Amino acid sequence: MRKINIILFEPEIANNVGAIMRTCALTNAKLHLIEPFGFIFDKRNFARTSANNFEGCEYVRYEDWAQFCAQNPKANVFYMTRYGKKPISDFNFKAIDDEIYIMFGRESTGIDKNILKQNLDKCFRIPMVESGRSLNIANSVGIATYEVLRQWDYLDLSKVEVEKGEDYLEK
């Protein structure tokens, strides 16, 4: 069964996590949070940036990377890193009819280098100007999530406006 899983490795900024929770809630992605965090994990820290989608976000917390690996031994993980040598669009997600995990590192230092070195064939980067270091992590999660969803024809997501009606602009 196709499903996107977003992994945040030791996130440091609560507002970024809140924004990512919103993306996960609205795309049916599951969020995996690997401790330690650089903030206190409290609903109040996420309410505004998650646009109150905190409750709608399916998430799991792990004490560390080892616990994540033990609980998800068959996880098909792809790694977003500025050191990746190809864009996410180079991966053929259409050929994967299973769960996909996309891992993002802490805001200051990224994913642990040892983890990346063991998985070079699954590392990607988001192309940007040479002088740029990185995009905001919440933006990066959105870009990567929607690339996989695009390749999967957006799964069960609505492609039309539902609240005001798909013909809202024509009226």
pLDDT digits (tens, 9 = 90+) for 3-32: 999 999 999 999 999 999 999 999 999 999
**What is the helix (H) or strand (E) element at residue 67, kind and residue range?**
helix 65-71
Distances (CA, A) of 14 to 40, 46, 137, 147: 8, 7, 12, 25
Tokens standing for 151? 């390749």
Residue of 105, 104, 107, 96 whose CA lies nearest to 151: 96
pLDDT at 66 over 60: yes
What confidence category does residue 133 fall into, taking pLDDT thresholds of 50, 70 and 90?
confident
| Separation between Cα atoms, residue 7 and residue 30, nearest integer Å | 9
Q: What pLDDT is recorded for position 48?
A: 63
Angle, vertex CA 108, rays to CA 106 and CA 114, nearest 5: 60
pLDDT at 159 over 80: yes
pLDDT digits (tens, 9 = 90+) for 76-119: 999 999 999 999 999 999 999 999 999 999 999 999 999 999 99
Residue of 114, 118, 111, 115 whose CA lies nearest to 81: 111
Residue of 129, 127, 130, 54 whose CA lies nearest to 86: 127
Range of the domain at 143: 3-170
DSSP SS3 for 99: strand
Weakest-pLDDT range from 29-38, 101-110, 135-144, 160-169:
160-169
Instruction: Report whether 105 belongs to an annotated binding site.
Output: yes
Q: Report the CATH number that the domain containing residue 105 is assigned in CATH.
A: 3.40.1280.10
Instruction: Report whether 134 belongs to an annotated binding site.
Output: yes
Give the chain's domain count: 1
Instruction: Report whether 108 belongs to an annotated binding site.
Output: no
| Separation between Cα atoms, residue 147 and residue 111, nearest integer Å | 21
| Separation between Cα atoms, residue 91 and residue 77, nearest integer Å | 12
pLDDT digits (tens, 9 = 90+) for 32-65: 999 999 988 887 777 666 556 667 889 999 999 9
Instruction: Report whether 80 belongs to an annotated binding site.
Output: yes
